[in-house]
Amino acid sequence: MMPLADVRVIAVEQYGAGPWGSLQLADLGAEVIKIEDPGSRGDIGRYVPPFQEGEDSLFFETFNRNKKSICLDLKLPAGRAVFEDLVSASDAVYCNLRGDQPKKLRLTYDDLRHCNEQVVCCSLSGFGKTGPRASAPCYDYMMQGLAGWMSLTGEPGGPPVKTGPSLVDLSGGYVAAIALLAGLWRARRDGVGCDCDVSLFETALAELSYVATWVATENYRPERTPSSAHPSIVPFQNFETADGFIVIACAKQKFWLRLCAALDRPELASDPRFLGFPGRHRNREDLLAILNPLFGLDSTKAWLERLGEAGVPAAPVNDVPGALHDSQVRARGAVVSLDHPRFGAVRQVASPLRLSGEQRAAARAPFLGEHTTEVLMEVCGYDTEALQEAIASGALGEAPPGDE
């Protein structure tokens, strides 16, 4: 049995951060029922270009595999009644709306405990439910600027730069999933549910990690470093080869000594300027003036072979196609192919969550409202008459499509 096979989550979510969090739960076997507003044509992620057709996109596919979709208008009394029937039969309600919206839409534990005393209500928002920014809209790029990430990224003297992937959104999803699982564990242990209040801003701040500790404790002033270098460990950065770039990470003294041997420069190991971490940090410019020209004398492949034989941590700086074709990807089956009636074979990165035992076979993302009838009849116990009443009330929008 999958680890979360006995967990049902109602997800009021859209776009990236929220769906990424519930995707982790779905990949671990949870039944994730995605509620989409029929009036807005569902999750906006369905319409993100490029590679978008009709009510689906490869963006949406990436964030919503292994989920079910129902159409439900939560603002109508009839829609609210259906929603509460779902909550009564579920373990958690998960949303990624602005911080002021869970209260307005009555998605908090106090609003729903009458349906289910053990329900966990997890909110992932830009700034959390309190504070002066609680009602402000938020996106990953904004958080990278606000939390100081952009000031740390890029070359010295250059403009602020964001990370390549939307790491605040993705990290926020992971944090929300962890919070929700912690809430579920406590609810099953103690018999009482709770609220989880997770924010992208605080996630981004937390991921400043030791740099934030240095700043908060010692008034440290972070500065950008050339070649994506570590702020204090040298050498730990990109180096340009004759035909590309490699990353070398001498995070331990033994790796530095091995690097000196691999470079055929044993005298560097005994040079008083470079004997330990503090010395190499203090004399960074002198050391790099020696190292940089050496790496330009041979190819990336040749250097990786030499450094690998010497036991020096190193890797190529790939482009994305290069990363997806790495031998480790093939060996681990880290890219999976899903059949899709519109896009054909959709290839995407598999879940990194690998537990021994049964693994969930990846299934395509749901069509808009695809599982409305199935969920209401199987989860809520509606018969044909109750289903027709829900349809007639307008709670489900137009008549839901039949299950595939």
What pLDDT digit, counting tens, does each position of 2-32 carry?
999 999 999 999 999 999 999 999 999 999 9
The mean predicted confidence, pLDDT, of the chain is: 96
Rounded to an integer, the average pLDDT of 372-388 is 96
pLDDT at 398: 66
Token pair listed for 122 = 């997890």
pLDDT at 403: 44
Name the CATH code of domain 226-317 (choices 3.40.190.10, 3.30.590.10, 1.20.59.10, 3.30.1540.10).
Answer: 3.30.1540.10
Rounded to an integer, the average pLDDT of 54-78 is 97
What are the boundaries of each domain within the chain? 8-207+343-393, 226-317
CB 339 within 8 A of CB 41: no
Separation of alpha carbons 254 and 260, rounded Å: 10
Q: Is the pTM of this model over 0.85?
A: yes
Rounded to an integer, the average pLDDT of 126-140 is 96
pLDDT at 384: 96
* Percentage of the chain lying above the pLDDT 70 cut: 98
Nearest CA to 110 among 182, 188, 193, 189?
193
- The type of residue at 51 is F
Name the CATH code of domain 8-207+343-393 (choices 2.40.10.120, 3.40.50.10540, 3.30.70.240, 3.40.50.12500).
Answer: 3.40.50.10540
Rounded to an integer, the average pLDDT of 231-253 is 97
- Does the fold of domain 226-317 match that of domain 8-207+343-393? no
User: pLDDT category, 404, cuts 50, 70, 90?
Assistant: very low
User: How many CB atoms neighbour CB 389 within 10 A?
Assistant: 15
User: pLDDT category, 107, cuts 50, 70, 90?
Assistant: very high
* Percentage of the chain lying above the pLDDT 90 cut: 96
Separation of alpha carbons 239 and 307, rounded Å: 13
Instruction: State CA 77 to chain mean position distance.
Output: 34
384-393 helix and 77-88 helix, angle to the nearest 10 degrees: 140
Rounded to an integer, the average pLDDT of 160-174 is 97
pLDDT over 50 (residue 256) = yes
Nearest CA to 325 among 317, 334, 338, 337?
334
pLDDT over 90 (residue 191) = yes
Regarding beta strands 236-240 and 245-249, do their DSSP bridges make them parallel or antiparallel, or are they unpaired? antiparallel
169 is catalytic: yes
Query: Which residue among the candidates 27, 56, 140, 169 is catalytic per the annotation?
Result: 169
Token pair listed for 216 = 């908060």
Per-residue pLDDT reduced to its tens digit, 331-374: 999 999 999 999 999 999 999 999 999 888 899 999 999 999 99
